[in-house]
Structure 1
Amino acid sequence: MAAEQYGIKELDESSNVELTDDKLESGSKGQLIKLAGQLRDRRNELNQMASERASKRDDLNAKTREKVDEAQEHREQRDSLNEQVQEHKKSRNELNAEANELFDKVEEMKSDLELDDGKDLEELEEEIKQLEFRQQTEVLSTEDERELIEKIEKKREEYQNRKEKVEDSGELEELIEEAEEVRSEASKHHQKVTELADEAQEHHNQMIEAYREADDIRDRADEMHELFVEAQEAADRHHEDFVRVQKRLRELDKEEEKERKDSRAEEREAAKQEAEEIYQAFQDGETLDTEDLMKLQRAGLL
């Protein structure tokens, strides 16, 4: 993956320092010291690169958590609103059911009162007056007068029944008003259902978007982690090679020290042997010069 798209430096493989077994085993002390310095510097550079990538990865992971928290807040608000939607739906349905019952009673009462059928009171009253006037002014046979009286009585009875129904219609008006009020209250709850459902949907959409953004950022964080691992593994490899060179240098130091000790031991042995030969010559009567005497002294023979 390209590191540049994340605004960070690419890992240049050509800048890596290679350590072969041949370099390690056959290289001179000076060459190994130089190589150790190169490995150390490249390791430090790679560790810095890994640190920068880890920091960017951590920033992306933090942003991912922020988006997830944001999505969770929208989820909670959506769920709360949906609960309110259900409450208002329940109230709306209960009120609609109550209103339906009331309107059924209204229809039933209208049917019982028969207010939509027949003549109004003024018409009936006028008809009764006309019939009574006829009875009073016309000369009728006994049979015709009897029929007219019966007709007047029926009209009066119809008038009285109609009058009672009209008087009872006040209760009907109250019932209609109550039913309309209940229906109006149900409509208010329905309006709240619509408003809250729209608001809940908006939070749902924002939740989905926040989760989508969180997934995108998480993918970038995962890619940045891979870039971090790339740099860290390269840094670790250079550190391991640096340690190997340091170990080899210590081995070379020990070998040099051993060679120096062996050389000094050989020199002492040679000096001792020479001193013993000088001492033997002295015992044989030869004359010793100052240098010979010093050699005998250094050998502990004087």
Structure 2
Amino acid sequence: MSDSIESSDNVELTDDELETNNKGQLIKKAGQLRDRRNELNQLASERASKRDELNAKTREKVDEAQEHREKRDELNEQVQEHKQKRNELNAKANELFDKVDDRKDDLELSEGKSVDDLESEIEDLEFKQQTEVLSTEDERELIEEIEEKREQLAERKEKLDQSGDLEEVKEKAQEVRAEASEHHQKVTELADKAQEHHNQMIEAYREADEIRDDADEWHEKFVEAQEAADQHHDDFVRVQKRLRELDKEEESEKQEAREAKEEEAREEAEEIYEAFQNGETLDTEDLMKLQKTGLL
């Protein structure tokens, strides 16, 4: 199908042609106009079908984009829910960790060495005392150091006993933090999926715009063909109207001719009748003329 209409294929009708052409010429022109009109209507129909097909594809792409938009928004809502839960859990974990730190500060557990460290150091010192040959002064100092470490260990254990559920609070804080991390992971995963749907939505809208542009071009081509078809139809109607006028003129001329002939026959019949009344003999033809005019 051609993208543009060949103007050379169109049929032109001038006012002069309409007024001066005879019936034969006008009948031929009417046929040309009718055929070209039908061709253009067919072309317009094909272009309208192409336009409608592209508009349908545009709607499909817009619907596809809308589906991605809805899915994106749904995922973003889930992202916000998990963010809120994550933030709430992180706030709770922070409170628990602060509580642990406060209790440690109160008991001075954050200062000094741990029980494990102290026990290990005592064990090393006792092994040294048992395996090495020391002077009296060195052994005395070692014993004093061991005793000091044991006092520190006892003090540390006493403070730990006073700490009560501190380890449980710490474990709870870690559990809450781990749960918050799970929600953070969900936030990341869902946000990535939401972005994918967002990108697909943008792409679908872009494709819809491209297809819509093509559809608009085909609509312009449809309008071009339809207007040309309408022009040929209007000219065809004008020719048909002119032909009817010519038919009426011919009929009027024939009617005038018939009336003139009838008038002539009547006048002739009246002369024959007058002759008959004056005693002239009438032949068969004269009698028939009188009968036709109703004078006999």
- Say if 2:160 is the partner of 1:162: no
Question: Closer, same or farther in 2 for the Cα pair 1:292/1:165, shift >3 Å?
Answer: same
Tell me what 1:50 maps to: 44
- Say if 2:212 is the partner of 1:218: yes
Tell me what 2:264 maps to: 270
User: Distance between the aligned counterparts of 1:264 and 1:14, measured in 2?
Assistant: 47
AA aligned to 2:286 is D
User: Distance between the aligned counterparts of 1:99 and 1:191, measured in 2?
Assistant: 17
Tell me what 2:21 maps to: 27
Preserved contact between residue 121 and residue 159 of structure 1 (Cα < 8 Å): yes
User: Distance between the aligned counterparts of 1:93 and 1:285, measured in 2?
Assistant: 139
Preserved contact between residue 121 and residue 163 of structure 1 (Cα < 8 Å): no
Unaligned ranges ≥5, structure 2: 126-146
- Match runs of 1:142-157 below 5 Å: none
Preserved contact between residue 3 and residue 221 of structure 2 (Cα < 8 Å): no
Preserved contact between residue 50 and residue 218 of structure 2 (Cα < 8 Å): yes
Tell me what 1:233 maps to: 227
Could you tell me which of 222, 233, 236 is aligned with 1:242?
A: 236
What's the offset of the Cα at 1:293? 2.2
Mean alpha-carbon deviation: is it higher for 185-194 or for 160-169?
Answer: 160-169
Tell me what 1:99 maps to: 93
Percent identity over paired residues: 73
Preserved contact between residue 124 and residue 159 of structure 1 (Cα < 8 Å): no
Counterpart secondary structure, 2:64: helix
Q: Structure 1, residues 94-148: CA drift from partner, whole Å, max 9, x if none?
A: 1111222222222233333334416836878999xxxxxxxxxxxxxxxxxxxxx
What's the offset of the Cα at 1:227? 0.9
With normalisation by structure 1, the TM-score equals: 0.81
What's the offset of the Cα at 1:8? 5.2
Preserved contact between residue 118 and residue 149 of structure 2 (Cα < 8 Å): no
Root-mean-square deviation (CA, aligned residues, Å) is 2.7
User: Distance between the aligned counterparts of 1:122 and 1:222, measured in 2?
Assistant: 86
Counterpart secondary structure, 1:194: helix
Question: Closer, same or farther in 2 for the Cα pair 1:292/1:156, shift >3 Å?
Answer: closer
Question: Closer, same or farther in 2 for the Cα pair 1:260/1:125, shift >3 Å?
Answer: closer
What's the offset of the Cα at 1:277? 1.7
- Say if 2:180 is the partner of 1:186: yes
Number of residue pairs aligned between Structure 1 and Structure 2: 271
With normalisation by structure 2, the TM-score equals: 0.83
User: Distance between the aligned counterparts of 2:25 and 2:45, measured in 1?
Assistant: 30
Unaligned ranges ≥5, structure 1: 1-6, 128-152
